[in-house]
Amino acid sequence: MTREEFEELVAEALDRIPPELTRLMDNVAVFVEDEPDPADPELLGLYEGTPLTDRGEWYAGVLPDRITIYRGPTLRMCETREDVVAETEVTVVHEIAHHFGIDDERLHALGYG
């Protein structure tokens, strides 16, 4: 799968997030990269920033939070295009949930681990 096709899958996954949630997202940007840090080569996605639940009056003038979805590990773990579509959607939802302050333990319990 080309990078452009994978980027389109990420965009489609973002489009499936309910509008009532996307309206609440604030100061966050989503990127696609080919590979994560070599220290964690199987990482599918990464959220970097300050979750909405941790922001206070001090939160102003900061760079956007960053969600990165990694193409390489996703393609390596999936056998079919359908698997890639499903895994990409789970990963996008997982990282957006971190933006909303939901931790990994709760996400795993909800099936987004």
Domains of the chain: residue spans and CATH: 1-50+61-108 (3.30.2010.20)
For range 6-27, the mean pLDDT: 92
Radius of gyration of the chain (CA): 14
CB atoms within 10 A of CB 88: 24
pLDDT of residue 36 exceeding 90, the answer is yes
Q: Which residue in the block uniquely carries the two structure tokens 């990994």?
A: 104
Q: What is the pLDDT of residues 19-33, one digit of tens each?
A: 888 888 888 999 999
Q: What is the pLDDT of residues 59-113, one digit of tens each?
A: 788 889 999 999 999 999 999 999 999 999 999 999 999 998 988 888 888 777 6
Q: Long-range contact list for 17-25, CB < 8 A, 24+ apart?
A: 17/92, 17/93, 17/96, 21/96, 21/100, 24/52, 24/100, 25/96, 25/99
Amino acid at residue number 55: R
- 5 SS3 class: helix
Q: What is the pLDDT of residue 83?
A: 97
Q: What is the pLDDT of residues 37-63, one digit of tens each?
A: 999 999 999 999 988 888 888 878 888
More confident residue, 4 or 107: 4
